């Protein structure tokens, strides 16, 4: 199965990102990610035997025990890849503990024998794929701040017309003391 681990977005940030996506619609052609699929990938595992799901879930649980829920803030737009067919994303201005959380999840996976993509972590939410950025300016993204409090292991099903991400296991971060 194709698997990845991602931090989920709080509803208010999902809405803000959906608004950014709506602003892009008038300006950029490409394949839009459905707002209910927005997420922040922490570790991409790729093809993994289903029998290893419990070990991955354990790595996620252990990593999440170290972290309290934290606030993040949406930042500017950015892209990966060539300008005629780019992955367009909105970054995080304020990342909270997200880089440390990603490092901890990756380390836990590594110690359990998983071999996965070692690209350095870049906090972002993908809004479009195959975006044509060759013409015109990009709109201003919507900003906002919100609390990240859950990390989920997803199965990515790419067999249909749109990617479908099925949650297999979720770990909650502890609530912050106020
Ligand atoms: P599609 O590949 O059809 O465009 P998708 O990228 O949404 O769909 P996946 O390729 O399964 O679906 O990726 C799931 C998540 O993992 C996405 O957030 C994606 O950006 C990320 N991802 C995919 N491949 C890698 C990789 N090689 N390294 C890091 N992250 C990756
Ligand atoms: Mg992909």
In a domain, residue 136? The reply is yes
Which ligand approaches the C-alpha of residue 4 most closely?
1
In a domain, residue 178? The reply is no
Residue 178 has a pLDDT of 56
In a domain, residue 177? The reply is no
Q: Give the whole-angstrom CA distance, residue 122 versus residue 38.
A: 15
Residue 61 lies in domain: 2-172
pTM across the whole model: 0.95
Q: Does the CB atom of residue 20 touch ligand 1 within 6 A?
A: no
Q: What is the pLDDT of residues 49-100, one digit of tens each?
A: 999 999 999 999 999 999 999 999 999 999 999 999 999 999 999 999 999 9
With the CA atoms of 41, 47, 53 and 59 taken in that order, what torsion angle do they form, in degrees rounded to the nearest 10? -50
What is the count of structural domains for the chain? Answer: 1
- Contact residues for 161 (Cβ-Cβ < 8 A; gap 6+): none
In a domain, residue 106? The reply is yes
In a domain, residue 131? The reply is yes
In a domain, residue 60? The reply is yes
Q: What is the pLDDT of residues 124-169, one digit of tens each?
A: 999 999 999 998 889 999 999 999 999 999 999 999 999 999 999 9
Task: Indicate the SS3 state at residue 156.
Answer: strand
In a domain, residue 141? The reply is yes
CATH code, domain with 124: 3.90.1140.10
Q: Give the whole-angstrom CA distance, residue 132 versus residue 11.
A: 28
Q: Does the CB atom of residue 137 touch ligand 1 within 6 A?
A: no
Q: Does the CB atom of residue 32 touch ligand 1 within 6 A?
A: no
Q: Give the whole-angstrom CA distance, residue 171 versus residue 43.
A: 15
């Amino acid at each position: 199965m194709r698997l990845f681990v991602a931090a989920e977005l709080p509803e208010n940030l999902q809405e803000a990102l959906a608004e950014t996506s709506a602003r892009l619609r008038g300006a950029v052609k490409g394949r839009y990610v459905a707002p209910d699929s927005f997420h922040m990938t922490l570790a991409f595992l790729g093809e993994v035997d289903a029998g290893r799901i419990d070990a991955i879930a354990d790595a996620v649980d252990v990593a999440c025990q170290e972290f309290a829920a934290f606030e993040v803030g949406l930042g500017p737009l950015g892209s990966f890849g060539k300008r005629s067919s780019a992955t367009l994303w909105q970054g995080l201005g304020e990342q909270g503990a997200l880089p440390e959380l990603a490092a901890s999840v990756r380390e836990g996976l590594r110690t359990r024998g998983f071999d996965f993509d070692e690209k350095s972590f870049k906090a972002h939410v993908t809004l479009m794929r195959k975006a044509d950025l060759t013409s015109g300016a990009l709109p201003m993204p919507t900003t906002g701040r919100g609390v990240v409090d859950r990390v989920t292991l997803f199965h990515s099903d790419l067999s249909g017309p749109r990617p479908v991400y099925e949650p297999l296991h979720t770990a909650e971060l502890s609530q912050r003391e106020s």
